A = this chain, B = another copy of it.
Amino acid sequence: MSLTLEELSSILKATLHGDPATLIEGVATLGNAAPGRLSFFSNRRYRTYLKETRASAVILAEGDREECPVATLVMDNPYLGYAQAATLLNPEPVAAPGIHASASVHAGAHVDSSAHIGANTVISAGARIGANCYIGPGSVILEDTTVDEQCWLSANVTLCREVHIGKRVRLHPGVVIGADGFGIANDGEAWVKVPQLGSVIIGDDVEIGANTSVDRGALEDTVLEQGVKLDNLVQVGHNVHIGAHTAVAGCVAIAGSAHIGKRCTIGGAAAIGGHLEIADDVHLTATSSVPNSISKAGVYSSGVPIQENKVWRRNVIRMLHLEDMAKRIKALERKLK
Contact = CB atoms under 8 A, between A and B. Distances in A.
Interface string A192-227: 111101000000010101110101000110000001
Contacts of A209: 179-180, 182, 213, 215
B268 A87 contact: no
Nearest to A244: B190
Interface string A110-153: 00000000111110100000000000111010100000000000
Interface residues of A, number: 126
B104 A211 contact: no
Given A83-B193, A190-B227, A287 B307 contact: no
Interface string A293-335: 0100011111111111111111110111111011011001101
A158 interface: yes
Given A179-B173, A235-B250, A268-B255, A120 B142 contact: no
Interface string A261-275: 000000011010101
Contacts of A229: 182, 184, 191
A57 to B, nearest CB: 15
Interface stretch (A16-24, A64-72, A74-82): A74-82
A220 B313 contact: no
Contacts of A80: 185-187, 192
Contact of A232 (B124, B154, B182, B205): B182
Contacts of A118: 122
A180 B174 CA distance: 13
Contacts of A187: 77, 80
Contacts of A84: 192
Given A210-B213, A286-B291, 14 more contacts: A80-B192, A86-B195, A120-B121, A120-B122, A174-B176, A190-B205, A211-B211, A232-B235, A289-B303, A299-B310, A303-B316, A311-B323, A332-B336, A336-B336
